[in-house]
Amino acid sequence: MSAILAHLSRPSILAPLIITAVYLVHHYLTKERVVLPKSFPVINSRPTDRFFPYLRAKFRNTVNFKSTMMLANTKPYNTKPAILPLLGIPNLILLPTTDIEFIQEQPRSILDPAKQTDQRLQLQFTSPNPDLMDLHQHVAQNRTVMDYMTTQIGNLVPDLVDELEFAGSKYWGDEASTSEWKEVGVYKTMTGILALVSNRIFVGSPLNRTQEIIKVGMQYSVDVPVVSAAIRCLWDPIVPLVGWLLTIPVRRRARQFEKLLEPEITKRVKAWDGMGADSDSVTEKKVSSLEPEPNDAIQWCLKSAKASGDPLMWKSTTIADRILIMNFASIHTSDYVLTQVLLDLAHSKQDYLDQLREEVETALRENGGWNKRTIGRLVKLDSTLRESARLNSFQPAALPRVVMAEEGIKTPSSGDVVIPKGAVVVVPAYNVMHDEKIYKGAELFKPFRFVGSGQGFVQTSSEYLAFGHGKYACQGRFFASVELKTMLAWLLVHYDIQLREREERPPSSWLVWNVIQPLKAKIRVKRREVLVDF
């Protein structure tokens, strides 16, 4: 015994023990705890659960979230809020679908979507620059840059197509390969093509083909969700240290990305300043000595930075971090949607593929080739994307928001019961988008379901939540819609896709409350001889 005591009293052992003990006491005594209303039922706990009902409900929700979402259609969950215990996401309250309109209208000061993203992605460790999400002037800049993106993307269709010629040939085969079928990994090739095409719009040509930029941007985007999910499962007291350690490689990649973009951003800033443009005199003529002025996200960031007059906004690292976040926000969401739609099509009917191809070829002929007008005419293709995103949305529970109001909130369904500050509310989405009463034949892929319905790919509603809904719905969806339609149209015109009508479509997998596309699924493609005359 005395030997053990002597051992423990050595400073190298004792000091960490004392620090840990002090931390634990401090943590548990001072941490603000969110006490969820006791009157709400716990979804997926059963009257027969005599022991550990909460833990058992948590287990069921975690391993089979789809069934939880279906349960949300039944009483009392379809009219009343419920506590939703789930691994790695504390303080969740599932609201009924009848609250969707109320939720989507609330300002950030009441229900904040960004705070939920902070928690989910552990941005205090993983963000290249935590201020980018928090500081008012950064948030305003993000919004302005997204506005540029929305208004400019139509004009950039020819650039997208130019990049597709290169990326498509690289991943799916070039013009010399028209006689052979080629087996391709859908997710892998879509990610590769998207990284090139999206970065053509983000950093411009030829920088977008720099291997290192693509590699670092992708690694960052792959690592953040994985490492943040791991941190969320850690025991609270060890999160600050272990979380920081686990994310060292992520932060290293962000610094690498900043270095890789630094020469280009500095060149652009110098070109701007070289014209003697004052911070507050942004005119189309005086903006930059680069001829022609680049039309890409680096330049949009620079323009809006100069308009703000705040030098921090045009610092090279600030702009590079914004571009890295764009890579993160766009590549995984878009490669998800493209992978799913290609698998849906490959496992559907030849007639669908023929009709889509015909629509694209007619639009190309009638509108003089690849441009904004052509893409705007593709109503069947637009409906196909919307239908696939409905069936496969990666957010089976939508509109996650943290309650920010000091006094908590009451929702239409909670009646007099207050949902406290710090709780995270969500609404069910999987069951809504698979509801037979809203979508007839809801489990079927009917690509032209929305043709003539007045509902385009980007339109959100309380019945269509693939991009969220309302005030804080996806800001990148207009960009994504043009980019994905151009990509899919170009691929359909340039490649035959071998139909796998009789084979089972590879299923997505569910990981807690995320849906993951079939990462290993393959299709067979063959380059076509393109005969469209335009």
Annotated binding site for heme: 474
User: How far apart are the C-alpha atoms of 526 and 165, rounded to whole Å?
Assistant: 15
Spatial CA neighbour of 40 closest among 102, 122, 115, 95: 95
225 binds ligand HEM (CB under 6 A): no
Contact segment (CB under 6 A) with ligand HEM among 130-138, 223-231, 275-283, 329-337 equals: 329-337
Least distance to ligand HEM, CB of residue 365, Å: 28
Q: Which two tokens stand for residue 218?
A: 């992708």
201 binds ligand HEM (CB under 6 A): no
Task: Report whether 57 contacts 82 (CB < 8 A).
Answer: no
Task: Report whether 247 contacts 122 (CB < 8 A).
Answer: yes
Size of the site for ligand HEM (CB under 6 A): 23
Contact segment (CB under 6 A) with ligand HEM among 68-76, 224-232, 433-441, 464-472 equals: 464-472
Contact segment (CB under 6 A) with ligand HEM among 44-52, 287-295, 324-332, 503-511 equals: 324-332
Least distance to ligand HEM, CB of residue 115, Å: 10
Spatial CA neighbour of 243 closest among 224, 220, 227: 227
Q: Which two tokens stand for residue 321?
A: 């971090």
445 binds ligand HEM (CB under 6 A): no
Virtual CA dihedral for 513, 103, 455, 146, nearest 10 degrees?
-80
Least distance to ligand HEM, CB of residue 242, Å: 28
User: How far apart are the C-alpha atoms of 76 and 526, rounded to whole Å?
Assistant: 52
Least distance to ligand HEM, CB of residue 426, Å: 9
Whose structure tokens read 């079927």? 444
476 binds ligand HEM (CB under 6 A): yes
Task: Report whether 158 contacts 370 (CB < 8 A).
Answer: yes
Q: Which two tokens stand for residue 43?
A: 């979804």
Looking at 466, 489, 497, 515, which residue binds ligand HEM (CB under 6 A)?
A: 466
Kindly tell me which of 394 and 448 has the beta carbon lying closer to ligand HEM. Answer: 394
Looking at 87, 239, 438, 474, which residue binds ligand HEM (CB under 6 A)?
A: 474
User: How far apart are the C-alpha atoms of 496 and 403, rounded to whole Å?
Assistant: 49
The CB density around residue 129, as the number of other CB atoms within 10 Å, is 20
469 binds ligand HEM (CB under 6 A): yes
473 binds ligand HEM (CB under 6 A): yes
User: How far apart are the C-alpha atoms of 392 and 410, rounded to whole Å?
Assistant: 31
Looking at 305, 397, 427, 480, which residue binds ligand HEM (CB under 6 A)?
A: 480
Looking at 334, 392, 508, 517, which residue binds ligand HEM (CB under 6 A)?
A: 334
User: How far apart are the C-alpha atoms of 222 and 126, rounded to whole Å?
Assistant: 12
Least distance to ligand HEM, CB of residue 360, Å: 19
What is the amino acid identity at position 143?
Answer: R
Looking at 83, 326, 375, 458, which residue binds ligand HEM (CB under 6 A)?
A: 326
* Residue 534, SS3 per DSSP: coil
Task: Report whether 43 contacts 68 (CB < 8 A).
Answer: yes
* Residue 82, SS3 per DSSP: strand
What is the amino acid identity at position 182?
Answer: K
* Residue 347, SS3 per DSSP: coil
Least distance to ligand HEM, CB of residue 525, Å: 22
Which residues from 90-119 bind ligand HEM, rule CB under 6 A? 113-114
333 binds ligand HEM (CB under 6 A): yes
Least distance to ligand HEM, CB of residue 320, Å: 15
Least distance to ligand HEM, CB of residue 454, Å: 20
Kindly tell me which of 45 and 91 has the beta carbon lying closer to ligand HEM. Answer: 91
Contact track, ligand HEM, 367-406, x by CB under 6 A:
----------------------------x---x-------
Least distance to ligand HEM, CB of residue 316, Å: 20
Kindly tell me which of 189 and 392 has the beta carbon lying closer to ligand HEM. Answer: 392
Alpha-carbon distances of 144 from 147, 153, 158, 300, 512, rounded to whole Å: 5, 14, 23, 8, 34
Residue numbers of the site for ligand HEM (CB under 6 A)? Answer: 113-114, 146, 326, 329-330, 333-334, 337, 395, 399, 466-469, 472-477, 479-480
